[in-house]
Structures are given as C-alpha cells and as structure tokens.
Structure 1
Amino acid sequence: MEALPVFVSLRSNFYERSSSRQVSGCTRLTLLFVLIFNLSRCSSALRVIGGNITEVQGETVVLPCKLIDTTETLTQISWQRMTRGKPQNDNFYTITSQNGPQFVNGRDDRFQIIGNFSDKNGSIQLSNVTLLDEGVYTCIFTLFPSGNHETKIPLNLLVPPVTSLSHNHAVLGNEEVSLATCTAAGSRPPAEVRWLTGTLAEKVRATDSSTQHSNGTTTTVSSLFGVPTKEINQHVVQCVVTNPALSKEETMSFTIQVYFSPMGVYIGEKSKDSFRCVTEANPSANFTWRR
C-alpha cells in the first residue's frame, strides 16, 4: 500500500508534462497564424500604381510605377518588357539602394530613372520612342518579407502621317480624269483625308484607298476627279488630313490646272503706232512677231 502514492504522483507528473507540450504546440501554431494573417493584411493593403500610356512616335514617354500603402523593406525594383523589338520577356533594368540603376541584357541610354528608390517610386523615362518599343512593360517591387509585387504598363504608339499633295497634268477635254492626289503615308491609326472644294462641289468627286503595312501603319490616298474644263481651271481646293498623332489638322491648298493650247489669236491696235496680240492658253503662250 505504500507504493500507491508514488504511482499516482508519477501519473500526475506525466499529465502535467503532456499538457505543457500541448500548450506549447498551440502557442507556436497561434504565432504562425498571426504571422500569416499579418503578412496577408500587409500584402492586401499595399498597391503598385502604373498606367496605360499612349504616345507619339519620336517623343519622350514616362512609364509610371509607384508603390504605396506599405511599411515593408524595399530591396529591389525591376523592369521587364515584351515589345515588338523584344517579343520574348526581357529583363532590362534594375534599381537598388546600394547600386542604383543598372541595365540588364544590354545598355540602352534612352531609358532613365525619374523616380526615387527611397520613395518607392520606380518610374522611368524613355526618349525617342519607336514602334519597336511598343508593348507591355512590367514594374516589380521586391519587398521583405512579403516578396514580389508588380503592375503591367501597356505602351501604345501613334505614328503621324507623312503628307503630300500632287497634281496631275489634266488636258482640256470632255472625259473625267484625276486632277490631284493627296497622300497621308505611314500613319497609325489610319489618317482621315478629305477635300474642301467650295463652289466645285458639284463638279468634282473624291475616291479613297488605303494600304496596310507590316509594321502596323497605313497609307491613305485620296484622288480628286473631275472633267477638265475651263470652268474649273485655276480654282483653289484644299486637302485636309486628320490624325490623332497630329497636334492639329494639316491643310494643303492646291490650284487646279487644266492645260490647253492657245484658243484663237486676236491682233488689235493698241495705240497709233503699236499693236496687241491676245490669246488664251495654259500654260501661258509664247509670242513671236513677224512682218
């Protein structure tokens, strides 16, 4: 009977140690859950702000990227791109507090950082932008302890047209011919071409055609047709080209030329001892006197 208290004491001690281990395990699980919960709250609160950018070819574009609403430690800002010139995902730029901005996979001095690492601003500037730069840029912030956070920035380019206006040598006649041609070449999006003909609206008409190029640009051609008569000769018409890449409409004026040989020659006395020779022609006729 003396051994019983010892046996009870041993069992009691075992339960106390077992209970202690269970409490310790629960504490560790609770701490892990709290850590995960806090990281989740931090990750959901922070935001990476970017944008959708449209710019004209040849200009300077800003690719905005800023991290807000976080107190985590920023270790690196990275830039990736998938463009016409780089169709595969390309890591091309990194920024750290120790080394500053650095190019990856080749240097391109058109890129320049305009943000500030300490402000969690990774915005960069790209000068002399071309169609090969069009695509999607990805800005990545690497934070401790939550990891990477990114935003994608689409870059779309507008291309202004190269405009020209040419006239055709229309000869006086009764059949409709092309009087002038207005061209808006290599634009993106396609340019709108229209004619201002004033009082000739009932005497002329326009036809349009377009050609798409492999680089995504379009050439638009508009031709002005009419019957080449003396009534439309020397009338001024205008070709107007409109495109989002142009700061304003581009207007080109043109004087219709209908060519014809001298139509009758008239000689009259101008004064007592002088004579005058008159004719109508386009271009102007040359005169030769004989006696």
Structure 2
Amino acid sequence: MSQICQVLLTQLAISTAAIAQRIIVADFMTGIAGEQLDLPCLFIYNETSLRVVQATWLKRGEGTDENIAVYNPLFGMSYPTRSGRIRFHNATSGNCTLTVHPLKLEDQGVYSCEVNVFPSGKFESRTELKVLVRPIGHAIAMPTEIGRSEAPVANCTAANGKPAADVTWIAKLQGRVTSTQRENPNGTVTVFSQYRIIPSRKANGQNVTCVVSHDALTAPLSLPVTLSVLYPPDVRIIGYDGNWQINQHNVSLSCLADANPPATSYHWTMSSGVVPERARIAGDQLIIDQVDYSVNGTWICEATNELGKGRGEIVIVVREPDSLRAGKLYGSTIVFIVTGTIIGTLIIIVSLAIVIAKKQKTIEDGKSDARPITRKRSHITVFATLNLNVLDGASSSKTEVNETGATVNADVNVN
C-alpha cells in the first residue's frame, strides 16, 4: 500500500467515534504508466449507528461519469468498465482504496470516491490523478565525413515521454546542441537532440554522452556515444631500423593506414618502378627473405578505402655487414697513419735542407771578407719518392691479413 494510504490509515486510527462522518482522500496523485497505483479513500464513521449501503469509484468526464468500481454488501464487488486492472479493498471496514495495475495513460483524470450510508446518506470526495510516461532513450552516432563545415555527429531521442523529457549532452569536444520536439496523438512528446561539431580526425573515436532527465525517472539516463568521423587513409611505413645489411634474412616493412572506414587494399611499389624478386608482398606487409642491393631505394605503400587513397614512403639504404665495414675502417686508418708519417718525414727533410743552406751561406759570407768573389746562388733540390701499398683484406671474399707497406726515398742536393 502506498505511503499516502498509510498516512490516511494512521489518521483513521487516531479518530474517535465522536468525529463526524467524512471521507479522506488525496487531493492530487501522480502515477507512472505501466506501474501500480493506489487511490486512497478512507471513510470515517461510527459503525454502531451507521451502515454502509454502497461504495463507488467514478471517473469524472465532461457530462458523463464512468463507474469504475462498485461495492455492495448484498452483491459484492463489481467493475463495470475496467475489469482486470481494478481492485477494491475491503470497503466494509471503511477502507475504500482503489488499486490500478498496470496504470495507463488514459487513466489520467479526476476521480470521485462516494460512500452511501444508512441513514446519513452519501459522502463524496475527489482526487485528481496525473499519469506520467517514462521516455524511451536512444542515442546513436552519425558517421560523418571529415570536413570544414559543422555537421551532426550524434543523435539522441527521448521518445514518448509525458511531459517532454529534458535532454542535455556531456562532451569534451567543443560542439553545439540543437533540439526539436514532436507531440504525439496520445499526448506524449518525443524530443530529438543532435550534437554538432566540425568533423576532424581527432574527433573520431571520441565519446559524448546524452543525458535524459524526466520526472518519471528515478535517475537520469546516461547514453554514451562513440563518434565516427570518416576520412581517407593517412599512411606511414614502419619496420626499417636504418641497419639493413647485405645477406640479412627475414626483414619486413609494414604499411600502417589510419583510416575510417579501415583500408581495404594495399599496393607496394618502388620509385624505380620495379619491385625486386627478393621482395614478397602480403597485404599490408612487404617481406624480404634475403637483403641485397636491389632493395636499395624508395619504397611506396598506397592504401585505399571507400573515401580515397593515402600514400607513404620510406628510403632504404642497404649497408655492408659489420665485419666488412670494420676491415675497411682498419685499412683506411692505416692509410691515414702512413700518409701522415710520410708528410712528417718530408717536413723534417726540408727543414734540414734549409738549415744546411743557411750554414753554407754563412761560410761563403766569411770568405767574401777575405777576398772578393763572385757570389753564387744556392740551390736546394729535394727528391722524394713515396711507395705506398695498402692491401685491404675487407674487399676480398676470403679472409686475408691486411698488409700495408710504405717506402720513402728522399734525395737532398744543395748547390
């Protein structure tokens, strides 16, 4: 029994036999369609001096009243127009509460509880019933192509509510809300709401939430929506670490296509126009069983979905194995050392020649003081021969010892 009915029974319990006959009802009641509702009606009277002849519930109409339920001590309970959904309580005890289940929208109206007693006559009191209808909430994403103009990306519907539901949105994405209403023939209202943004790649996969609030709901409805923004593939290629070496086995490239809807086909090419025999194409993957120099160059992957194509590129540079590079590096180092030694030797030789020339000049100057002689011009001639032989074992297919030889022959003539 409802809380209102319990309050009325409490009031009845504290009443005394001296209280005048009267009917206690709720002036206003609210029920929810589809649920059970109790319409309380308590008749207070002195059972020793009065006798209930008949108790009746009526729904007031324009010009005509409808008998809903009737109790008569001789004929029992009767439900003239709404059998199956209506039930009277024990009217003989003064509790004339009417139970309706399930409550329907057409049950809304003004009800009258009447009690006829002998010998006092008829007592009557009225209750106004308002029936609420819970809205049915539904929210969906609206796939929208990427663009620069605002477009709806999510729809939310609060259908067949009475009164109209309140619809709001929770979203991190900045957007705008538009709402419309439609009044239905049965008196309910359907609310349509849209969340609108400028569609972008960033918005794809983001969540927004439609919140439906209504008096008939114990808590607001939260309806999450994952946005779907459509765009052509954005492609990048991964798998190359910058260290592919000759004769390396089982390397691959992967074509990653960020697209909505997902890419349905992939096409691999090389900038040279020819895909080498070493390469195998398996959908979004390029597999190379053994690396050789034919893999060198720019690789291109083109991905396609319903909206268009996207293209990605990567430059592959094949390197020699570490052992070969180390051998060449060693040979180059020897060359630099030998060359530096030779240059240093030549500098020393030239320096010695200059010193000798200066001493010779000093001697000649001393002799000139003794007697005049014809001064001869000094000539310094340096002859240097460099024999450099570097054998780089790194260039050989077999393992060999690196040999480096250098010979410096220098002839110095001072005239």
Same fold (TM over 0.5): yes
Deviation string for 1:196-243 (max 9, x for gaps)? 002x2xx21111111122322111111001100122222111111111
In structure 2, the residue matched to 1:215 is 186
RMSD: 2.3
Q: Indicate conservation of the 8 Å contact 1:77/1:140, yes or no.
A: yes
In structure 1, the residue matched to 2:410 is none
Report SS of the residue matched to 1:215: coil
In structure 2, the residue matched to 1:274 is 252
Q: Distance in 1 between matches of 2:255 and 2:141?
A: 31
Shift of 1:88: 3.0
Deviation string for 1:138-161 (max 9, x for gaps)? 111101222111111211111011
1:138 paired to 2:109: no
Q: Distance in 2 between matches of 1:281 and 1:249?
A: 35
Q: Distance in 2 between matches of 1:180 and 1:167?
A: 4
Matches within 5 A, 1:65-80: 65-70=41-46, 71-80=49-58
In structure 1, the residue matched to 2:6 is none
Matches within 5 A, 1:13-52: 45-51=20-26, 52=28
Q: Indicate conservation of the 8 Å contact 2:145/2:231, yes or no.
A: yes
Q: Indicate conservation of the 8 Å contact 2:142/2:227, yes or no.
A: no
In structure 2, the residue matched to 1:58 is 34
**Equivalent residue for 1:103, pick from 67, 79, 82:** 79
Report SS of the residue matched to 1:166: strand
Q: Indicate conservation of the 8 Å contact 2:52/2:117, yes or no.
A: yes
**Equivalent residue for 2:166, pick from 189, 192, 199:** 192
Shift of 1:122: 1.3
Percent identity of the aligned residues? 29
Q: Distance in 1 between matches of 2:138 and 2:34?
A: 20
Q: Distance in 2 between matches of 1:112 and 1:282?
A: 59
Q: Indicate conservation of the 8 Å contact 2:235/2:255, yes or no.
A: no
Which deviates further from its counterpart, 262-271 or 45-54?
A: 262-271
Q: Distance in 1 between matches of 2:146 and 2:228?
A: 10
Q: Distance in 2 between matches of 1:117 and 1:224?
A: 55
Deviation string for 1:220-272 (max 9, x for gaps)? 11100110012222211111111111121110111111110112453653785
Q: Distance in 2 between matches of 1:208 and 1:87?
A: 40
Q: 1:189 is matched by which residue type in structure 2?
A: P
Q: 1:128 is matched by which residue type in structure 2?
A: P
Q: Indicate conservation of the 8 Å contact 1:269/1:276, yes or no.
A: no
Q: Distance in 1 between matches of 2:105 and 2:257?
A: 56
Q: Distance in 2 between matches of 1:247 and 1:81?
A: 29
Which deviates further from its counterpart, 136-145 or 264-273?
A: 264-273
**Equivalent residue for 2:124, pick from 121, 146, 150:** 150
TM-score scaled by structure 1?
A: 0.77
Q: 1:138 is matched by which residue type in structure 2?
A: S
In structure 1, the residue matched to 2:262 is 284
Q: Indicate conservation of the 8 Å contact 2:55/2:72, yes or no.
A: yes
| Bigger radius of gyration among the two | 2
In structure 1, the residue matched to 2:389 is none
Q: Distance in 1 between matches of 2:140 and 2:31?
A: 30
In structure 1, the residue matched to 2:327 is none
**Equivalent residue for 2:136, pick from 149, 162, 176:** 162
CA 211–260 in structure 1, closer or farther in 2 if over 3 Å, else same = same
Q: Indicate conservation of the 8 Å contact 1:208/1:223, yes or no.
A: yes
Q: Distance in 1 between matches of 2:63 and 2:128?
A: 14
1:206 paired to 2:174: no
Report SS of the residue matched to 1:132: helix
Shift of 1:281: 1.0
Q: Distance in 2 between matches of 1:248 and 1:211?
A: 24
1:254 paired to 2:222: no
Deviation string for 1:31-63 (max 9, x for gaps)? xxxxxxxxxxx9x92210111221110111111
Report SS of the residue matched to 2:92: helix
Q: Indicate conservation of the 8 Å contact 1:58/1:130, yes or no.
A: yes
Shift of 1:103: 2.6
Aligned residues: 243
Q: Distance in 2 between matches of 1:87 and 1:216?
A: 22
